[in-house]
Chains A and B, each alone.
Chain A
Amino acid sequence: MDNNRRSFLKIAGITALAGIGAPVAAHLSSSPAAASAEAHGAPQEGHEAARESGKRDGVRLGMVIDMRKFYGHPEMLDKVIAACDKAHNIPHIGNKKSEIKWIWKAPYANAFPDQSVAHSSKTIAENDFLVLCNHCDQPPCVRVCPTKATFVLEENGIVAMDYHRCIGCRFCMMACPYGARSFNWEDPRPYISEYNPDFPTRMRGVVEKCTFCEERLALGQQPACVEAVKDCGAIVFGDLNNPESQICQVLAKENTIQRSPAYGTKPSVFYIV
């Protein structure tokens, strides 16, 4: 665990350097991708593996959700969701039409609509699954945005949002094959139950979604959802392009699935079911 935590913090630190202190990172090494490769001491393999599968070079953050650890513990799902809601000032508007959600729970049939649910096991049928933005390698939402208000952070592959540039056309919501995006149909501020001064609130008329907690990564912290269940390690977060990262080791060992991979989006969130 210690070892994993250290390797995680390394990635987080580099991400932070690349993101927040771009000039510093540029000074330390020619590019953020090179910086990450150096730090992990595996420059060649990592990059070739990335190129072979046609993926983005450099750090690409991803997540493995080990659903086995959530089965029979719906309170753990709620804990994860509550942690995210609190960290990001997510309003609880209380009607389905206007709701805002970054990470939420859905039955298997809804989370994985392309997978068969004929004769599904009791576990699959009775448990809810966590769903969130997949931070795709080929994000359709970024492709359609007319103002570049949503974009891929080159240094870590996060699909980020600029709430100040978004014009609220909701084209990204049309394009997202995972329903991961929410629109502020009205002023969200009156509906924030517990205000967190460390994260901006949003105004009405803009789209928002999970950001893989880029603001926490910059401080060397894990995403709020990962931290909420860190006791049992139910969510593993890290660099998908670094074969030595904990997440890659988990992926190499366990059989995982992604949500609707047939759309060619290359999601960065994996599930052990």
Chain B
Amino acid sequence: MIEKALKGNTIYWGWLALLLALIALGAACYIRQFNFGMGLTGMGRDLSWGLYISQFTFLVGVAAGGLMLVLPFYIHDYKVFGRLTILGEFLAISAIVMCLMFVMADIGQPIRGLNMILHPTPNSMLFWDMVVLLGYLTLNVICGWVILTAEKKEIKPPKWVYFFVYVSIPFAVSIHTVTAMLYCGLPSRHFWLSAITAPRFLASAFAAGPALILIFCVIMKKLAHFDAGKEAVNKLITIIMYAAIINAFFVCMEFFVGFYSNVPGHLHSLEYLFFGLEHDGHTYNNLVPVMWTSVVMCFAGLAVFSYMKLAKVQTDTLVVLGCTLTFLSLFLDKGLGFVLGGLVVNPLNEVTEYYPTLNEILVSVGIWATGFLLVTLLYKIAVAVEHEVEA
């Protein structure tokens, strides 16, 4: 089936060329970082996780978001999502590859990465995160590829593959739960030390993942004559709305706990993220515009979707607008605010702000480009198979 990715028009090849150029740029920056050390990033002794780990966290959510397509189709036999489940699986593959690349970019001795497997350590959540991420990647490769092959041959998928499909459902939940456990089990990081962290991660994942898939659907409708179907899009929007509202509710609960209890540890990160943190006569507030943008985008996205529901209109422009607002809102909230906000006050009650360096940003761009390249190729194959079957 891979040959299907080798046929395309100018837009397709131009897009691939752009992605490859960005990947090359990212790779060059990574080589610089590899040769010099992590000092080329904006991270430091007091704030030692940054852009890489925060985007890793966000992308685990994108990978888990595919569950919102797989679960209704396979568990509830919701046939409308039939054409979309493969997109969820292929997006999960691409997102997890990006996750693994972000982790590799973040570790100081990537050459020793195999120590994670050579010296397995069950008490470390990072070990379990590796286990569930590699497991989920494998499951999606198996399910996606076998089901697509069956579709191409116009036969039913083999029965055994359903075993892996059903196993992949709890795995999708587990990847984001274990990723939350990286954070919520650390004694002195008050902002993360919250039992709501994992549920919040899952809620935002179930909004961000489907939102990205809907954006891709509209793009493929324009460029590749792939129609997801009106009802499927409508149902996904409902799912995104509920997930985004639940996420916002969880964030509000964090606000209540922090501000009503008035316990400094719970309060400081929220103050820093949304209002600016006063400390020793200096106000630290570099993420305040980012977080309010996230809040505005979240409600704007919900407003667009609500309008679509109430006025019973469904245009591609509105779908893309609503989904982009929701996706970016959650990216800013989880892909930046959550990790950086939790680290702004160090265990010695000193405040450090983080600014990523250009090198670090370009490495991240390179990793995103790799993910988009992968998703483009996989979706190209999926859509080509679909067209072949229809013809």
Contacts and interface: CB of A to CB of B under 8 A. Distances in A.
Interface stretch (B21-29, B38-46, B203-211): B38-46
Interface size band for A: 35 or more
Contacts of A260: 188, 347
B266 interface: no
B126 interface: yes
B349 A183 contact: no
A169 B107 contact: yes
A183 B348 contact: no
Given A149-B115, A205-B109, A263 B126 contact: no
A69 interface: no
B156 interface: no
A175 B187 CA distance: 7
In this complex, which of B113, B126, B346, B347 has the most chain A Cβ atoms within 10 angstroms of its Cβ? B347
Given A146-B121, A149-B115, A206-B109, A169 B126 contact: yes
B189 A131 contact: no
A143 B108 contact: no
Given A186-B39, A204-B37, A96 B349 contact: no
A158 B45 CA distance: 23
Interface in B166-206: 182, 185-189
Given A167-B116, A185-B39, A110 B350 contact: yes
Contacts of A165: 112, 115, 119
Nearest to B115: A147
A167 B44 CA distance: 17
Interface residues of B, number: 40
A177 B107 CA distance: 21
B115 A205 contact: no
A183 B186 contact: no
Contact of A264 (B108, B187, B348): B187
A185 B38 CA distance: 5
A207 B48 CA distance: 11
A131 B348 contact: yes
A112 B171 CA distance: 42
B328 to A, nearest CB: 27
B271 interface: no
Interface in A193-224: 204-207
A34 interface: no
Contacts, number: 138
A6 B347 CA distance: 37
Classify the secondary structure of B's interface with A.
loop
Contacts of B130: 146
A97 B44 contact: yes
A50 B123 CA distance: 24
Interface in B119-167: 119, 121, 123-127, 130
Nearest to B125: A144
Nearest to A106: B348
Interface in A93-151: 96-101, 106, 109-111, 113, 131, 140, 143-149
B89 interface: no
Nearest to B193: A263
B55 to A, nearest CB: 16
Contacts of A204: 36-39, 108
Contacts of A175: 186-187
A186 B36 contact: yes
B348 A179 contact: yes
A225 to B, nearest CB: 19
Given A146-B121, A175-B186, A260-B188, A183 B48 contact: yes
Nearest to B127: A146
Nearest to A104: B348
B6 to A, nearest CB: 38
Contact of A96 (B45, B185, B187): B45
A205 B38 contact: yes
Contacts of B106: 169-170
A96 B187 CA distance: 24
Nearest to A187: B37
Nearest first, the 5 A-B pairs at minimum CB distance are A168-B108, A205-B108, A97-B44, A177-B188, A185-B39
Given A165-B112, A205-B108, 17 more contacts: A96-B44, A96-B45, A111-B348, A143-B124, A145-B121, A146-B115, A165-B119, A167-B110, A169-B107, A170-B108, A174-B48, A174-B189, A176-B347, A179-B347, A185-B44, A205-B109, A207-B108
Interface of B: 36-39, 43-46, 48-49, 103, 106-110, 112-113, 115-116, 118-119, 121, 123-127, 130, 182, 185-189, 346-350
